[in-house]
Chain A
Amino acid sequence: EPEVTQTPSHQVTQMGQEVILRCVPISNHLYFYWYRQILGQKVEFLVSFYNNEISEKSEIFDDQFSVERPDGSNFTLKIRSTKLEDSAMYFCASSDTGLYGYTFGSGTRLTVV
């Protein structure tokens, strides 16, 4: 069964450093998303991406965040200058139509120290 692949599974970074979280969506999917889950809390929407541009972004997705699909297969989330409160599980998801639910990756646990 097709999968969404995320790397790395766990990343530890120092406050103020830049991090790039990587995702390989399912190959024929057209809609891409990043979600975040702070430990013990609910899953929150960050950003959606379609046709090589951001469709929607949440209040969380401020100027420190950016997304890119550099080569037609990878989908990346960059945090320019990490803060302690960015520590969370970050999930990438993709969908063919957006209608039938997404396929999530297994997540990247980001720890900012």
Chain B
Amino acid sequence: AQTVTQSQPEMSVQEAETVTLSCTYDTSESDYYLFWYKQPPSRQMILVIRQEAYKQQNATENRFSVNFQKAAKSFSLKISDSQLGDAAMYFCAYRSFEGGSEKLVFGKGTKLTVNP
């Protein structure tokens, strides 16, 4: 079964600085999708960015970018020019297609604090 590991339970960053959140995963599939979700205090799950495994180019969405290392099974999220509104839990997720049906497998999350 696929697993997703986020080794940093908490991270902090100064406003306007850059922070990188780590994620590793384990899979035997060759084609898959990876996602980062943000969960602010309101607890809604908001899609931040996604990466298709067959694409070598790292995904970017404005201040958010990923460093996808397929061989190392690593999928880190970089937040540039951090803003107070970026403070949230961040979950890395893997789209599993095991057994013919699909679901998201989540890591345990990283709590990001942004200091003014």
Please give the residue numbers on chain A whose beta carbons come within 8 Å of chain B beta carbons, in ascending order: 31, 33, 35, 37, 41-45, 48, 55-56, 89, 91, 93, 98-107, 109
Contacts and interface: CB of A to CB of B under 8 A. Distances in A.
A56 B106 contact: no
B42 A106 contact: yes
A42 B109 contact: yes
Interface stretch (B19-27, B43-51, B67-75, B76-84): B43-51
Q: Report the interface size class on chain B.
A: 20 to 34
A91 B45 contact: yes
B35 A104 contact: no
Interface string B80-109: 000000000001010100010111111111
A91 B103 CA distance: 13
Given A42-B91, A42-B109, A106-B43, A101 B102 contact: no
A33 B105 CA distance: 13
A94 B109 CA distance: 21
Contact of B108 (A41, A56, A100, A103): A41
Contacts of A89: 43
Contacts of A109: 43
15 contacts: A31-B102, A33-B104, A42-B108, A43-B104, A45-B103, A45-B104, A48-B103, A56-B101, A100-B33, A102-B104, A104-B37, A104-B47, A105-B44, A107-B44, A107-B45
A30 B29 CA distance: 24
A106 B106 contact: no
Given A89-B43, A107-B43, 9 more contacts: A37-B43, A41-B108, A42-B109, A48-B102, A101-B47, A102-B104, A104-B44, A104-B47, A106-B42
Nearest to B33: A99
A42 B103 contact: no
Contact of B45 (A55, A99, A100, A104): A104
B45 to A, nearest CB: 4
Given A100-B50, A101-B50, A44 B103 contact: no
